[in-house]
Structure 1
Amino acid sequence: MGFSEAVQWWEDWQLRFLVLTSLFIQYFLFVAALLRKRRIPHWFRSLIWLAYLGCDAVVIYALATLFNLHKDEVAMDTHIDTLWAPILLMHLGGQDGITAYSIEDNDNWRRHLLISVSQITVAIYVFRKSWWSDDRRLLRAAILLFVPGILKCLEKPWALKNATVTTIMTTPDSRLEATLDKDNVRKDILSLDKYVQEAAKSVQDMADKPLDEDDFKLNVKVGDKPYHLFVDLGHPYFVRLKNLQEVMAPRGAREAAHGMVRSSLSKAFDHLYTKHKRSLGGLLRAAAVLLTFAVIGVFQESRRNAYNRNDVVITYVLLCCTASLELVSACFVLGCGLPSLDDQISQYNLIGYLARNKNYQSFWSLASRLGCKDRLDRLWCTEPPEPSASITKLVYDHVARGWKEYMNKPIYEVVMTGDWEWYGVKTAVGAFRRFNDSRGQRTLEWEGCEEMEELKSSLRMPFDESVLLWHLTTEFCYFEHVDTGSDATRHSRVMSNYMVYLLLVNPEMLVPGARRSLFAAVYRELEPSGCVVELEPTETILESPPKTKDEMARKIIQKVKSTIGSDDLVHRAWELAHELMELARKVAEKVEKDLRKTKEEDRKNRVEGTKLTEEQQREKEEINKAKEVEEKKLVIRAKKAGDDKMWAVIQGVWVEMLCFSAGRCRGYLHAKSLGKGGEYLSYVWLLLSYMGMETMPEKMQRPELPVEGDVGGLVKSISDELSDKPAQAGRLLGREELEEVRKVEAARADAAAATRTVTSSVTRMENEPQGGRIPAQATAATKATTSAAAVAPIIGDDNV
């Protein structure tokens, strides 16, 4: 076949090829719509993106080709390809399960509307110009096809418009309307303080309430339509109280909460990215199916033999395949709907990443030269995902405990009205906000670890640094300590790996301003020039690379132990892990001591006042043999108790960090992540909202600024200092109390200034010859000691 013959063949088959390609893309998009909620490979998701973009391009190209074929021709009775125009309009409407590929596509509804109107005009023009008048049956078939074609073509921009942020913000909240219709719901809760008081009281009342048959059923309507939350519009306080009561009242809510949140996110996905669950969608689907099958019957009765045989075959293929696709799609819309979102937790392990890089150095070196290493790191270096239902239960337990044991106790809040004007109010809002701002402080308080300096300081760091620090600490504790196989160990590592995954892949969701570059910085610290043991001169990388994470972790720990004194993040993580392991050791020693004491008392009570016979003596010898086994069991039990304590602290800190991150991520980012399969952080975020926690808009619009010097965490603020002192709720501070507050702040300022003086003096002494410096240092140290001593009796703080 020569070039001219190939060109002629392409001109004859171009339109046929385009309509068949459009049909294939529609089937591919239908299958892709069923899978895009799941965890699918990135290359397949890229194919979905190409098909989504190519769908409109192929249809527009086909209609333009059809227009060019008939623009200069008179009506002819040998052409049947004009019947393909309404079918192409149906293809332009797209599949119901993939209206938008990303959240940004919804804002392009005007462009899609313009495209739809222009292509409808082209199709009608071609049909009017080229249609013959003697085949009435085929004319009726074409008209019947234009009805669903035009409706589907216009439905897509309408669905996109309904999913925009502006439309959602102006749409009435169905949950609010449903709550307003109930007469037994209190609607006078207009302040945050009143809401927190009522919520804490309701939770306590529900805990004391006797069991009822209905108390084991979770009201699934709580998360029926959470669309407003994705545009950062929170519910009024009385609606949030009602949600909290319905989520926490049932005794089976802890197990059902994960399924409820998953269902809510799936409904949000359907609203934002599909045409499913529209009010008129079912009627349009039914009409499209009936009319398409009716057209097949009408076409069967027409004069098919008068047309080109190839065109007749392609017309049959288009009609039958399009009708089948519409039928199956209608079953999903009117029936079961799309599958639920994937509820697995993504994983990324820093030590595992380092081990892979060492095993495939040549490949990653080439990727680095090509400039695609960062992209490949985010796509291919993830660990296998983990189930998330157990983590959701931990979040539920954490929030429930907060309502029962922390937020039900009002504390003093000190509010500044001027430079030196203060007033204190005893309110529940302070505890509510502190609980929502916790990054591990509540766990240290509940586990009795407030005095552990390394733990406290690790929670005062920037959040992204704290995530990496605790990730390395968790790995060090796991590989250095014998794994007891507890659930807390597994949960801790799952949350640790997920938070690092967010830092590398979705840092904007972790916390505003999270720095992905920190990951690379820590990686450089762990490279062979840093903490990984160098190979011996006789060894090569190919002969003995660290094949597994275990080997790599032990090499890192060995190197860190030999270079104690550095102040980088890796060494700080080891110091933190060492303090946690010391906690486990102390708890194990205490438990072992208590167990030994109990056994000795029992043994003493059994033998006291009795004289052993020979038979009893033999029995005693056998008992002594069994004692050794009991001793080993006792040691194992004590060690397990210490390990459980250590992992309980680590697990609690990670749960709080997870909640802290979820509470500071915008709803828009959660909505955006749904288009890529969703993030588990969205589960936590939505559960926190249903359980009455502080929302992102509330955090941004807090009316009172914290008192200067109040850094939160475990450092006592003025509100903490006053919470232990008796006062009446809502009254202004008296003169004596005001003077006491000023004295505290002045003493703290003196202590801080003196500490800075000591630091600068020591620095100068290190750089200058000895002599004449000791008195200055002693004076500064005396000031620091005196200032700290002045603060301690007033506020009782050991950490000043």
Structure 2
Amino acid sequence: MEMEQSVSDSSYRISKSWMINCVMLLSMMVQLLLTFGGALRYRSGSSVLQLVVWLGYMSADAMAIYVLGVMVHFQSRAIFGIWAPILLSHLGGPDTISAYSTPDNELWLRHLFTMLYQISVAVYVVYLSQLGGYLLAAAVLLLVVGISKYAERIMALRYSSLSQIVSSADPMNVFMQLEGERCDYLVMGLKQWRKSRNVKVTITDVWNSEGKELTENYMLCLSYALFKMNKRRYVNLYLHERYYNRTRDFLFAEELSHIPSPQKIFTVAEMELKFLYDLLFSKSSGTAFSKLGMVMRLVNICLIGITGFLIYRELASQRVVEETLYTQRMVAYALLSVAIVLEIVQFCRILTSDWSMVWLICARIQYIDNSCGRIGLDLYMAMLIQIVIQISSRFRKYCRGKYWKDQIAQYSIIDSCSHISPSIWKLTKFLHLTSFVTSWYNHTEPVEDDLKIFLVEQLKQRCSTEEDVENCRTQLMSYDFGLEVNQCEDLKWASQQDQEHLILHWHIATTICEMQREAKPSSNMQDQEIKRNIDISRTLSRYCAYLLVSTSKLLPLHPDIESVKHMDVHNELIRLADLGYNRMNTYERYSTLGHGAKLARELQQKPEQLRWKIISDYWGGVMIFYALKNKASVHAERLTVGGEFLTLLWAIVGHMGVGDQ
């Protein structure tokens, strides 16, 4: 009986030991996944990637906490004293993702208490392992690394919470208020500018240091300065500069911003939003992307390297009797190897990051100013930093990808209905799966330069005639502006509706006009202006339909009413399918679809060139109107799924001082 009990206990210990081995390796793989997956999600809209990163983020802490608990209750082995500190590093997570969504940042205090508890558990496991000699020294060094990485994650969460963003953004508010119309866009030195105006670096200083050329370094520093200003809009602080003409003209007056083209304006907005993403969802400038963060990475690399040497020296001299011990030894080598590789990768990523480049550029300018042209330590430091900038810039060409997915989503209500039979549609309604089914018919297209140029032209056109900022904002908020410019007072009824009806009416009308043109080609098929307006109208119409159906939180409307209106249109289109979609143009029922068809008939009475000019101007006005709405938290969440085209426009409009407060 005792022999059977002994065999049973031995089998239990072996199975439990193998289970711990597997979970340790799985935790290591999750860290690899989060390191590289977290770095991709801001420029990829792949739902598979988002699901994988979400599963990794949710399971990473659970696995580490579970294994630490098992180690405490398991008959302790010496190797657990090495593994427990490594699990603390896993709980700290990689630099590329500290929070999956913005609410995670507000839970930093809960994570702090969890950290204190898990550190005590890890120390207790090291104590139970009864290590000595080199292994004890290795365990202590790994504890230092694990605690520092875990604490860094808590600091990142706290730094990204709303209260801390308000605290960090308020000095910029004071700066803009006191400087007034003479204010320049501040890149570095915000904390010290009151004590000495010589320590601050402005965007003009960067322009002069770059030889007055539009370099990537200049655009990077400009985007960082705009990011520091836009943080106030994210936390709803008052923008004192909104009444300054300089603010409104900055992005569109080349002599002020030195940006020659609309495409470059959007590029600056992309860079700016990447800074916001790093602040909210990764270990930001307060932790990893800082001088202290770079020093900590170097220290961690050295400590893990020393630890690996000590462990290998101690374990290699021991004779392995059990196969289980040999496996655990191999697992320990794998964990340490991956840990040091990840630290090296993250150090290189920090060194080539946008944050580091901005800091290096500003440091070089400050050293040059301090040298006053004299040969000395300051000038040599400036030369050394310039060499580092050049080396880093070369690596950035290969390491840095796009700043966002650079795609615009498209959805056509009429096209999706033509592929869904009435019986399937009734079933999806019964199962409340309409949103899921309609998402099958979403697709993305590359954002063309013509679209960017068109929207910037719309902004200029609506603001160029008004010197007062409030009047400019009124022009931007007006749907009728495009109709007035094109002298189409008879179509104003179509812009006097609520938001969901406006989108549906004009989307249906645009689609019908497009179908009519394809059915009856005109002599103007090769006209480039008409073709451009048609492409812009189609793209913006389908994008707004996508926003209405899939991302309605970005729009200023009730979160549920849009699904009701969308469903009504679908029901009508399903009934219309029996008659044939070619009869849609003559559909006269008093409904959303009927109003869209009526608008299409009135538009078709206009000359073709004017018709598509009216439609494109209208959709341009709609996009600007939605960009004015300060849905900052929703825009921030969209950064984690590859970004949103409307978010870029939101950032640009915000710097004109005309956005909602």
TM-score, with length taken from structure 1:
0.65
**Secondary structure, in 3 states, of the residue corresponding to 2:554?**
helix
**Contact 1:347/1:386 (8 A) holds in 2:** no
What is the one-letter code of the residue matched to 1:526? L
Deviation for aligned residue 1:323: 0.9
Tell me which of 223, 228, 234 is aligned to 2:232: 228
Q: Which residue of structure 2 aligns with residue 101 of structure 1?
A: 100
Deviation for aligned residue 1:371: 4.3
**Contact 2:79/2:129 (8 A) holds in 1:** no
Q: Deviations over 1:249-271 (max 9, x none)?
A: 21604231110111111110000
Q: Which residue of structure 2 aligns with residue 727 of structure 1?
A: none
Matched, 1:91 2:93: no
* Distance change >3 Å, CA 221–CA 310, structure 1 → 2: closer
Deviation for aligned residue 1:116: 1.0
Q: Which residue of structure 2 aligns with residue 151 of structure 1?
A: 148
Structure 2: how far apart are the matches of 1:156 and 1:371?
A: 39
Structure 1: how far apart are the matches of 2:585 and 2:476?
A: 35
What is the one-letter code of the residue matched to 1:170? S
Q: Which residue of structure 2 aligns with residue 350 of structure 1?
A: 413
Aligned residue runs from structure 1 range 692-703, under 5 A: 692-693=657-658, 695-697=659-661
Q: Which residue of structure 1 aligns with residue 569 of structure 2?
A: 522
**Secondary structure, in 3 states, of the residue corresponding to 2:445?**
strand
* Distance change >3 Å, CA 430–CA 149, structure 1 → 2: closer
**Contact 1:464/1:503 (8 A) holds in 2:** yes
* Distance change >3 Å, CA 186–CA 148, structure 1 → 2: closer
Q: Which residue of structure 2 aligns with residue 432 of structure 1?
A: 472
Matched, 1:252 2:252: no
What is the one-letter code of the residue matched to 1:38? R
Structure 2: how far apart are the matches of 1:266 and 1:579?
A: 44
- What percentage of residue pairs aligned between the two structures are identical? 25
Q: Which residue of structure 2 aligns with residue 444 of structure 1?
A: 483
Tell me which of 417, 439, 443 is aligned to 1:383: 443
Structure 2: how far apart are the matches of 1:234 and 1:654?
A: 29
**Secondary structure, in 3 states, of the residue corresponding to 1:675?**
helix
Aligned residue runs from structure 1 range 207-606, under 5 A: 219-225=222-228, 226-237=230-241, 241-250=245-254, 252-278=260-286, 279=290, 280-306=292-318, 308-336=325-353, 339=401, 340-358=403-421, 370-378=431-439, 380-387=440-447, 389-405=449-465, 407-408=466-467, 428=468, 431-439=471-479, 441-450=480-489, 452=490, 455-481=491-517, 482=521, 484=525, 486-513=531-558, 515-516=561-562, 517-527=564-574, 529=575, 531-534=576-579, 555-561=580-586, 563-564=587-588, 566-584=589-607
Q: Deviations over 1:489-535 (max 9, x none)?
A: 111111111111111112121113252221111111111x2x2234x
Q: Deviations over 1:388-432 (max 9, x none)?
A: 543333222112122212x23xxxxxxxxxxxxxxxxxxx46623
**Secondary structure, in 3 states, of the residue corresponding to 2:340?**
helix
* Structure 1 unmatched runs, 5+: 188-212, 409-427, 535-554, 585-642, 698-800
**Contact 2:301/2:340 (8 A) holds in 1:** yes
What is the one-letter code of the residue matched to 1:558? R
What is the one-letter code of the residue matched to 1:435? Q
Structure 2: how far apart are the matches of 1:368 and 1:8?
A: 53
**Secondary structure, in 3 states, of the residue corresponding to 1:567?**
coil
What is the one-letter code of the residue matched to 1:583? K
**Secondary structure, in 3 states, of the residue corresponding to 2:650?**
helix
| Count of aligned pairs | 553
Structure 1: how far apart are the matches of 2:9 and 2:448?
A: 61
Structure 1: how far apart are the matches of 2:469 and 2:41?
A: 42
* Distance change >3 Å, CA 331–CA 446, structure 1 → 2: same
**Contact 1:345/1:679 (8 A) holds in 2:** yes
TM-score, with length taken from structure 2:
0.78
Deviation for aligned residue 1:112: 1.1
What is the one-letter code of the residue matched to 2:554? M
Q: Which residue of structure 2 aligns with residue 594 of structure 1?
A: none
Root-mean-square deviation (Å): 2.8
Matched, 1:64 2:69: yes
Q: Deviations over 1:120-161 (max 9, x none)?
A: 01001111232233xx22222111111111011111121111
Structure 1: how far apart are the matches of 2:460 and 2:85?
A: 57
Deviation for aligned residue 1:375: 2.4
Structure 1: how far apart are the matches of 2:418 and 2:337?
A: 54
* Distance change >3 Å, CA 172–CA 329, structure 1 → 2: same
* Distance change >3 Å, CA 216–CA 266, structure 1 → 2: closer
Normalized per residue, the structure richer in helix is: 2
**Contact 2:223/2:269 (8 A) holds in 1:** no
Of structures 1 and 2, the larger Rg is shown by 1
**Contact 1:37/1:676 (8 A) holds in 2:** yes
Structure 2: how far apart are the matches of 1:92 and 1:186?
A: 44
Matched, 1:653 2:618: yes
**Contact 1:476/1:557 (8 A) holds in 2:** no
Structure 1: how far apart are the matches of 2:8 and 2:55?
A: 30
**Secondary structure, in 3 states, of the residue corresponding to 2:283?**
coil
Q: Deviations over 1:358-412 (max 9, x none)?
A: 4xx776666556543432323x22023331543333222112122212x23xxxx
**Contact 1:165/1:231 (8 A) holds in 2:** yes
**Secondary structure, in 3 states, of the residue corresponding to 2:657?**
coil
